[in-house]
Amino acid sequence: GLIRRQLRSKYNFSVDGEVISSIGTGLCVLIGIKRDDGVADMKYIIRKILNTKIFEDDKGKKWNASVKDKKYEILCISQFTLYYVLKGNKLSFHRAMPAQESETFYMNFITELREQYVPELIKDGKFGAKMEVSIQNSGPVTLEIVSQKTSDSNVENEETSD
């Protein structure tokens, strides 16, 4: 998934002109689900969302506090297009989990995230809906978090890091 940091701004997203969810300071998480993702992948990504040091701490030290440390909000948006493949100039989404399976996976992801954090601080939208998303970033700061089994994982020796 992609994690975007936001400070003193809002993410709003609407379906048919109706605002479905919005948050203040926190993270907007675009969640892509691959065809072979499983529970271990879900738990790994959730752990990274909650614990990655993406904010300043209370003393102003950059990259030293997580969304969990700061008790900020998280807005989750399903985003199957993260798992595209270009075939010439045409997009293919065969790496993404099929819609019916991914909706169940996504809802389980949201449930698990709420169980591991503060449920009221987790917002989500309407799965599979065509949305208008208003985004204002500070930084900007955008991180790609991929499961450990992925060969292009961007995580180094996790055992020795905070």
SS3 9: coil
* Percent residues over pLDDT 70 in the chain: 85
Question: pLDDT digit string (tens) for 46-83?
Answer: 999 999 999 999 999 999 999 999 999 999 989 999 99
Question: 54 and 74 in contact (C-beta within 8 Å)?
Answer: no
pLDDT at 64: 98
Indicate if the pLDDT at residue 108 is higher than 90: yes
Label residue 161 by pLDDT band (50, 70, 90). low
Q: Return the residue matching tokens 């399976």.
A: 101
d(CA 160, CA 147): 18
Mean pLDDT of 7-14: 54
> Which one of 81, 111, 142, 150 is the catalytic residue?
81
**81: annotated active-site residue:** yes
pLDDT at 105: 97
Task: For the domain covering 3-146, report its CATH number.
Answer: 3.50.80.10
pLDDT at 9: 41
Higher pLDDT, 150 or 146: 146
> Could you give the count of Cα atoms lying within 13 Å of 150 in the half-sphere of its Cβ?
22
Residue type, 20: I
Indicate if the pLDDT at residue 152 is higher than 60: no
